[in-house]
Amino acid sequence: MLENRRILLIVAGGIAAVKVPDLIRRLRERGAHVRCILTKGGAQFVTPLTLAALSGDKCYQELFDLKDESEMGHIRLSREADIILVAPATADIMAKMVAGMADDLATTALLATDKPVMIAPSMNVMMWTHPATQSNLQILKTREVKVVGPSAGDLACGEVGNGRMAEVPEIIAALTRFFQKNDGQGPLTGYKALVTSGPTHEPIDPVRYIANRSSGKQGHAVAAALAELGAQVTLVSGPTHEADPDGVNVVHVETAKQMMKACNDALPAEIVVCAAAVADWSPENAKQKMKKEAGKTPALTLAENPDILATLSQPGPARPNLVVGFAAETENLIENAKTKRAKKNCDWIVANDVSPGSGAFGGDNNTVHLVTADGVESWPTLRKRAVAERLAERIAASFQRHL
């Protein structure tokens, strides 16, 4: 998908600029044409000669270059590209993009472009989490700027946390997904996918219910990632505060029984991802609000809910080609995930630790282990969106192998 794509790469002033030479090499290996703009800050980490040699084109730096600006260079650069990629995207250049500043060649090209823009943020964790940066990020997203990363890990400053620029393969994958979606030729085009997400609410009486702490962030991200790869996605969601993903058919439910019915209605599908935290039991539902009586504690009679993952994994001609479950565990993570995969008869299990302090429930990051018949693959701590994208890519790759 990158063959003959024209990428204008803006290199801003962050230590992650040292990854850019490898990024250029990998893009050119895939047939992309790369042209670089190097900011003054970026030139502190990588030289224009290096970028020019690797890209096979001139490295542009100065806004008021006599020859280039006699040809309206900043307009030409921004209009001749298929996409503008800012990597690394520092807090400074993100703020300038939001403010519409044009005080150097990079920001002027960004302001003058009519082409899609993608950024790969990179900065100190405190800078990334600062309300100003997060506000700028949301504004850029409303302007349809694509974002890849950042991920969590060791930072150049010696601290640990979010702010690490996405790795080169992740950036290339994000570019590939963009062009696939833009061309309507994603690797999952023609496939139907069913995703469950969020908690279920099991009513005790008309005003009370049993639930869990699932936010739905991971499941919703998986649905969005599969849709971006071209799949026709139905998302069956329990009660969450998450917005419905674009390009996805969303069915809202509350209880496990309702979710089971919605899943059956969405079949047949080639792909099923059960990311919802479905309640195992539901109480006998009182028709009226239960009243508190002094000295008396009401007894709840619980009945077992349908096992959605096991039901969808049952052998038979209608079974989806790939069924992926999630295992939220607080102890013996890998062993419990292996046991669950065998018991449920599903193909893959995505295991994650949800014990107190992990930050998995309700947080934006996740540390998961992919359990398959081939073994266990441990992934680094990533944003839930990045986990979803990596999982969707693995799903697409598994289907491509069987074509």
Can the peptide bond before residue 268 be classed as cis, meaning omega within 30 degrees of 0? yes
3-class secondary-structure state, position 13: coil
**Matching residue, tokens 């990597």:** 87
**Strands 192-197, 232-237: parallel, antiparallel or unpaired by DSSP?**
parallel
CB atoms within 10 A of CB 68: 18
Asked if 189 contacts 232 with a C-beta cutoff of 8 angstroms, the reply is no
Contact (Cβ atoms closer than 8 angstroms) between residue 281 and residue 305:
yes
Contacts of 300 (CB under 8 A, 6+ apart): 204, 283, 284
Q: d(Cα 265, Cα 261) in Å, to the nearest integer?
A: 6
Report the distance separating Cα 286 and Cα 279, nearest Å: 18
| Interatomic CA distance for residues 391 and 403, integer angstroms | 19
**What is the C-alpha separation between 281 and 402, in angstroms, rounded?**
38
Of the candidates 386, 399, 55, which has an alpha carbon nearest to the alpha carbon of residue 221?
Answer: 386
How many whole angstroms separate alpha carbon 99 and alpha carbon 66? 27
Displacement of CA 374 from its chain's centroid (Å): 24
Q: Are 304 and 281 in contact (CB under 8 A)?
A: yes
SS3 of residue 235 by DSSP? strand
Helix axes 217-228, 384-401, angle to 10 degrees: 40
CA distances for 99 relative to 108, 132, 238, angstroms: 12, 12, 38
**Strand duo 348-353 + 368-372: pairing:** antiparallel
Dihedral sign computed on CA atoms, order 223, 226, 227, 232: negative
* C-alpha span between 111 and 105 (Å, rounded): 10
36 included as an active-site residue: no
Active site positions, annotated: 157
